[in-house]
Amino acid sequence: MEAIITSYRRSIKTQKTNQILLDVNANSKEEAEKFIGKKVVYTTEGNKTIEGEIVAVHGNKGIVRAIMSRGMPGQSLGKKVLVQ
Give per-residue pLDDT as tens, 24-82: 999 999 999 999 999 999 999 999 999 999 999 999 999 999 999 999 999 999 999 99
Q: Which domain holds residue 14?
A: 2-83
Evaluated on CA atoms 50, 57, 75, 81, the torsion sign reads: positive
pLDDT score at 53 = 98
pLDDT score at 20 = 98
| Counted domains in the chain | 1
SS (H, E, C) the chain: CEEEEEEEEECCCCEEEEEEEEECCCCCHHHHHHHCCCEEEEECCCCCEEEEEEEEEECCCCEEEEEECCCCCHHHCCCEEEEC
Which CATH number fits the domain that encloses residue 7?
A: 2.40.10.190
pLDDT score at 82 = 97
